[in-house]
Amino acid sequence: MGEQGDHRFTADIRWTTHGVPHIRAGDWGGLGFGQGWAMARDHLPTIADQLVKVRGERARFHGAGSEGAHLASDFGYRALGLVERAPALRDAQPPHIRALVSGFVAGYDTWLAEATATDVLPRWCAGAPWIRPATELDFYAYFGDIALLASGRNLVGIIGRAEAPGPDGPAPAAPLTALGGNVEASNGWAFGREATASGHGLVMANPHFPWGGEARFWECHLTLPGELDAYGVALLGAPGVQMGFNADIAWAHTFSRGHRFTLARLDLVPGTPTSYRFGGEERSMTAATHTVGCLGDDGTVVDVLRTLWASHHGPMVNLPLLGWGLEQAYTYRDANAENRDVFAQFLGMAQARNMDGFQRVFTEIGALPWVNTLAADRTGRAWYTDASATPNLSPAAQQRYRERLRDDFLAALLVDNGVALLDGSEPGDEWIDEPGAIASGLIPPDRMPAVERTDYLVNANDSHWLPHPEVRLEGHSPLHGLERTPQTLRTRQNLQAAGRLAATGTLTPAIVLAEVLSNASLSAELLRDAVVSRCTGAGTVEVEGVAVDVGAAATVLAGWDGRVDLGSRGALLWREFMAGFEPKAFVDAGPLFAEPFDPDDPVATPRGLAAEPDADPDADPIADPVTRALAGAVHALATAGLAADASVAEGQWVQRGAVRVPAHGGGEGEGILNVLTPIGALTSHALEPGPARLEPLAGRTGRTGLSIGGYRCTYGTSFVMAVELTDDGPVGIGLLAYGQSGDDRSPHHRDGTDAYAAKAPRPLLFADADIEADPNLERRTVSG
């Protein structure tokens, strides 16, 4: 293996059940080659499209796009300069990562040549001019984009539209669709020696990601004897393992609630919209004119020029609704713009032999881009940290930021969407440098929130503040996430479920995954009985001219099992009932909960159903918001074509090729662990085709994903694993819910989904003897 004969790279690949490749090589280049080859076999078109995207060539091959989206993306990526930064990123890598990437790119290109020669690419992209061999610099530019997954990647649509006001006034504000969604979901648990039957550590990972596009995971096992033996998942187009386990330690990630970038509001100089005030001085923005090729309707490519601007903070942006005005404008700075060590960070974690070594990677490299980490080792130590790249503000700037959230409507609105707003004209709001930070303006690793225990630790995308009911991580920057604030229903369910399991002291991977996939609803546990009692005698009310029997709906809820399983009847009705309240009602007292959130009792509050308001038939024939929400839920389901007592299997599914697979799971309103919904926070930037869009349902599709016909899910549980680190080796079970392959002709496009629907995790095979004994074993040696 490694370099052999006339081949520069060689790797042995063994595929086991569900198409999981176990890749072994004799050197780093060979290991990368095997991974690049096997990943390309499953997902080459999606990866190729991402390389086009970061090169700023979408419009060249696909035209301007809807509302100029491809042009805006191309200009946005040109402004970010990922292609120009790629050589420096490559040169900053240590030799073993340079070799790994070289092999990965060669493997990708070797599979492309093989696929082209045998005509096996999917029909939608076969022969397309953008399907072409890649260079290492193409991939290094894409690695820069992966580092910006929770920041600049989601802003390219507003960066690429940030043209300065001209003689005719401001340019149009960017459309709402131009701002990519922030990242919100995942569950992670780390159990220490007190919680497990064996006294060793155990980790559960349940990341919630899109089921299509570039932000999918790919499962693999990588072995380079003496250097690396790690199992887990990698993002498409990324070498190595970003989440998983080795023989001694396992780790999970959840997206951090902290901020990976900041927006800054600039006060412009009157009459000069490209100059702004900064303290007592005036500063001029810098201009750069970019040229992008755009495919026209006649098949010719024409050059389009656009001048974009930057402040000393970073690129200017064109915010939806606000745009770039004559008095104020907005600019952005990215905490991961200069992060050159992301893959050294992940690879170092995968090579760690114990918790001390694992933690050293965070202090010595400290380049984790956008996630919390939960880990446990073979000795039964459990650890949590949010070590994501975070802007460093002075104490005075932190206080101004907190006041801005209280007093500034725009700042409060933006933070609800994961965006921090600073005063770009106030020098005191500048990011500050501090010794030990991996880049200018960032918080150094020794000031990141972290805690170690021997029972359990949890994160479900709320801030670092509450990783355990008895732990409060306080005194950190608000850009790490807010403290002493209400927790989501899902966080509360995670803390309760993990604590309940840990208290037994007898945990195994099977017990843990059964809990994750139990689909128990916390909101139902807290409220369902009181809602049924309230609505049982409500009779019939009118919703949009339609009579709704609220009492009958209450009967459905009374018979519901409180879960979102395939056979659960009443789960869909409860989902739409909860959608009758604003999300803020889920976390504090108001029209839904009676008792408010208590920061000294955060897991148990809010609680109790809010009291029924005094009736005023003249003002509102349905004065009670609870009755109104249940009646609206019945009406919404009926409009979608579903009965109030429809089972989850009758109304919710995932699409795998031409096959509709009924699927369990739910959303934030249900307060369940196992998220699976038609809507998600992480926007896909891929162009691969999908099923036809369902007809939306006004007021519902944006909240729960309900469309005419039901819920076609596209976001949620992806890779799910539970792994125990025993003295005899890691013992794990799990699955990749959407399957290994993006090609709907492959059996591995659907087999993982069938296993997910059946709640049938498989062993995560690590030991060589177990791999060899797999009944679906296939093998091949690949060279190039």
Residues identified as active-site: 186
In whole angstroms, give the CA distance from residue 154 to residue 178.
9
- How many residues comprise the chain? 784
User: Do 198 and 724 form a contact (C-beta atoms < 8 A)?
Assistant: yes
In whole angstroms, give the CA distance from residue 23 to residue 35.
7
Cβ–Cβ contacts within 10 Å for residue 678, how many? 21
From the list 367, 307, 313, the residue with the least C-alpha distance to 152 is 313
From the list 530, 531, 538, 534, the residue with the least C-alpha distance to 621 is 538
From the list 387, 334, 335, 333, the residue with the least C-alpha distance to 365 is 387
In whole angstroms, give the CA distance from residue 350 to residue 333.
30
Backbone angles phi, psi at 434, to 5 degrees: -150, 140
Number of H helices, E strands in the chain: 21, 33
Token pair of 15 as six digits: 């595929």
In whole angstroms, give the CA distance from residue 256 to residue 431.
20
From the list 353, 446, 433, 366, the residue with the least C-alpha distance to 393 is 433
Strand residue runs (E) in 476-611: 540-543, 546-549, 593-595, 607-609
Write the DSSP string, 676-723: EES--SS--------SPPPPB-TTTHHHH--BTTBEE--EEE-EEEEE
Write the DSSP string, 712-771: E--EEE-EEEEEEEETTEEEEEEEETT-S-S-TTSGGGTHHHHHHHTT--EE---SHHHH
R_g of the chain computed on alpha carbons: 26
In whole angstroms, give the CA distance from residue 572 to residue 633.
9
The 10 Å CB-count burial string (b at 16+, else e) for 634-651 is: bbbbebbebebbbbbbbb
Residue in the structure block whose two tokens are 């032999």: 353
Cβ–Cβ contacts within 10 Å for residue 304, how many? 16
